[in-house]
């Protein structure tokens, strides 16, 4: 059942992303992963959405403001509910300092509306989304949660640790459609090159328009499915690929002993620019200068085959 659902979601996303970006020569990518423009096709939707906009870099981050302007410019109603400070790398963390007995300051988070439709929540990105859903929308739940733009791609294994993606995982748990948008950083250049935040913001607005125009039953995305968008650092992206989450991480901590103290270890970045072993992966799409759109559903369950084999191995275990 899960395999059938994944395949149907993948097919749906390939169809909805057709014509998002200009066509490219047929030999540049497999036909089932690269988008093509349909001559004469028109995709329009003038229905404004109530969007909760968040990130993991803080409510004052310029990249968030660029995305806010793009979404508002497309006619949507945007409410910012974002961390009050940097929360990069916090993944799916959420506050668990629950009240036990008499409430104290230790059982609280702080949140305030710093200006109309802009909330600063002193917690994790997931906290910001949950708080926003509970307190920031008088008319009910938002139609869509958008997280970003993150300066630095959240693809491959990095996805698991991303606060930008973590915010959309919370939305997925609440059955609210969500999109995480990040731009690639290329560490092989000096200085490192970063994808265009303004172009990634505009692309996100176009993606939402396409989702609206192709949602025959009114649902932007299948229930509990979110999109992880990574925009390449290339000057001219080759198109859009619907991808899988890769296995490699472009950066991972390396711990190195130091004389700062007896038990101290420096946290150094270990870079990896190797080709990802996963076919049709987000990492490889970025390496080929494509925009990567990966559908996620928050389910880390292994495949049916792996679970079947494990059942055989654990038979009669008590």
Annotated binding-site residue numbers for a divalent metal cation: 56-57, 88, 150
The angle subtended at Cα 151 by Cα 258 and Cα 299, nearest 5°, is 90
Query: How is residue 207 written in tokens?
Result: 């993606």
Which tokens in the block code for residue 222?
């299948």
CA distances from 122 to 52, 205, 209, 292 (A): 16, 27, 32, 31
Query: How many Å apart are CA 163 and CA 181, to the nearest integer?
Result: 11
Q: How far apart are CA 215 and CA 14, in angstroms?
A: 13
Element (H, E) at 266: strand 265-271
Which helix (H) or strand (E) segment holds residue 53: the answer is strand 50-54
Render the burial of 259-293: b for 16+ CB within 10 Å, e for the rest. Answer: eeeeeeeeeeeeeeeeebebebbbbbbbbbbbbbb
Task: Summarize the annotated binding site as residue ranges.
Answer: 56-57, 88, 150
DSSP 236: S
User: Can you tell me whether residue 85 is helix, strand or coil?
Assistant: coil
How many Å apart are CA 81 and CA 176, to the nearest integer? 15
């Amino acid at each position: 059942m899960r395999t059938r659902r994944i395949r149907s979601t993948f097919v749906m996303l390939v169809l909805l992303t057709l014509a998002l970006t200009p066509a490219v020569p047929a030999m540049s990518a497999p036909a089932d992963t690269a988008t093509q423009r349909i001559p004469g096709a028109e995709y329009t939707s003038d229905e404004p959405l109530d969007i909760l906009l968040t990130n993991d870099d803080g409510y004052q981050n310029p990249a968030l403001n660029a995305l806010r302007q793009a979404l508002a410019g497309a006619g949507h109603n945007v409410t910012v509910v974002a961390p009050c400070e940097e929360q990069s790398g916090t993944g799916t963390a959420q506050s668990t300092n629950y009240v036990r007995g008499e409430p104290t300051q230790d059982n609280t988070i702080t949140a305030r509306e710093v200006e109309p439709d802009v909330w600063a929540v002193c917690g994790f990105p997931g906290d910001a989304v949950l708080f926003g859903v509970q307190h920031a929308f008088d008319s009910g739940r938002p139609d869509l949660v958008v997280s970003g733009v993150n300066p630095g791609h959240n693809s491959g294994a990095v996805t698991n640790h991303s606060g930008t993606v973590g915010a959309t995982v919370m939305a997925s748990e609440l059955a609210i459609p969500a999109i995480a948008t990040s731009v690639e950083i290329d560490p092989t250049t000096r200085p490192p090159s970063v994808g265009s935040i303004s172009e990634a913001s505009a692309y996100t607005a176009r993606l939402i328009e396409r989702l609206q125009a192709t949602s025959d039953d009114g649902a932007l995305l299948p229930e509990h499915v979110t999109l992880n968008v990574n925009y390449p650092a290339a000057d001219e992206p080759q198109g859009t690929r619907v991808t899988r989450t890769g296995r490699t991480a472009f950066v991972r901590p390396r711990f190195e002993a130091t004389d700062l103290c007896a038990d101290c270890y420096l946290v150094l970045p270990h870079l990896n620019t190797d080709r990802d072993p996963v076919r049709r992966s987000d990492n490889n799409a970025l390496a080929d200068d494509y925009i990567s759109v990966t559908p996620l559903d928050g389910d880390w369950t292994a495949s049916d085959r792996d679970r079947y084999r494990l059942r055989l191995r654990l038979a009669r275990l008590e």
